[in-house]
Amino acid sequence: MTQQSPWHRTSGPSQSRELLLLLSGEASSIPEAEARALVLMEDDSARFRMGEPRILLASTDADPVPISSRVAFCRRVGNLVPDGDFGEEELRILRRGTYRLRTFNLQESADGDSLVSEIADRIGGKVSLENPNVELTIVRGQRDYLAMTSPGLMNQSWATRRPRKRKFFHPAAIFPKLSRALVNLTRVRAGETLLDPFCGTGSLLLEACEVGVVPIGLDIDRRMVRGALRNMLGFDQRWLGLARADVSSTPLRTVDAISTDVPYGRASSTSGSDTRHIIEALLVSSLRLLSTGRRLVLMHPRSVEVQDHAGFQLEEEHHLYIHRNLTRTISVFRRV
């Protein structure tokens, strides 16, 4: 490639491998935070930079496969092809099986047709539009980026688990993609346990189970516990536990992560407790349940400020606008 090449170049003396994470277009910091959390779950020494809006680049040895299969707010995840030049191993993979080319235009003026033809001519091999072994993703922004991705892993069937599709419905239920992000922000791994102490209809528990995490649900409302059980059985899932319990006196000894949507407002049962008092009780209880380095993720109204608490460090805050009277905040705490 000449110096006029439009391809993004990796930087730094080590020229280490980079992952490209094409973030979804929501006007929120949640997509970037979720993507970073999943990369750090695989490689806590990963380094990040924004190539441009919606393009997160990670210098890391993390495997893109588990990230692709879990992430909610990314369009594509894959190994960046530096400068658009294929190595011998990459060409061998592409020519051994089938592939397809997919273009994402981040700018209205971008036209990827000629670039697609150029890359296809360079590779040769066999193209399959329906069920390829590998997808080559071209992202056309301020520069061009090329990555080897696995789109089939990102088909999460979100619509099948939306609240109205569940056996038990409640208006306070969270949609699957946001529920998945709340799980992923804890960095909990497959096979580890995640507690939702205000589980409601089981939105977070459903998504945790989908990615191999072992979920436990508690709720003080007997009707919600029964409804969550119906939803679990309706999706043929098996959670580790589901019980009616108050957050201040949980029957558990230890868990690997906690994530929850703190109840508030008319649609949620708080048993007469103020939201701030509920959060305080949860933080106190979580001190006993989480070991050092583990995370607690809370979603709560922005009007209810949450500060550092003894035993916890507030690592991140992300805001999600719902309507003019409600903005939700997602607070990520690390046990210290």
pLDDT, tens digit, for every residue of 50-65? 999 999 999 999 999 9
- Express each pLDDT in 289-316 by its tens digit: 999 999 999 999 999 988 888 999 999 9
Residue 226 and residue 234 in contact, taking contact as beta carbons nearer than 8 Å: no
Least confident residue range of 24-33, 179-188, 251-260, 265-274: 265-274
* Domains defined for the chain, CATH in brackets: 18-154 (3.30.2130.30), 158-335 (3.40.50.150)
- Express each pLDDT in 103-159 by its tens digit: 999 987 656 677 888 898 889 889 999 888 889 999 999 999 999 998 788 989 999
In whole angstroms, give the CA distance from residue 135 to residue 117.
15
pLDDT at 117: 87
H helix intervals, the chain = 30-42, 64-70, 88-96, 113-123, 176-184, 203-210, 222-234, 275-289
Q: Residue 12 above 70 pLDDT?
A: no
Q: What is the pLDDT of the chain when averaged over all its residues?
A: 90
Least confident residue range of 6-10, 60-64, 199-203, 236-240: 6-10
Neighbours of 82 (CB within 10 A): 18
pLDDT at 111: 63
pLDDT at 103: 93
Q: What percent of the chain has pLDDT over 70?
A: 91
- Express each pLDDT in 221-242 by its tens digit: 999 999 999 999 999 999 999 9
Contacts of 81 (CB under 8 A, 6+ apart): 7, 90, 136, 146, 147, 148
pLDDT at 69: 96
Question: Is the sign of the CA dihedral 157, 190, 203, 24 positive or negative?
Answer: negative
Q: Write out the two tokens for 123.
A: 């590779």
| 284-293 mean pLDDT | 97
- Express each pLDDT in 242-280 by its tens digit: 999 999 889 999 999 999 999 985 444 445 468 999 999
In whole angstroms, give the CA distance from residue 62 to residue 46.
8
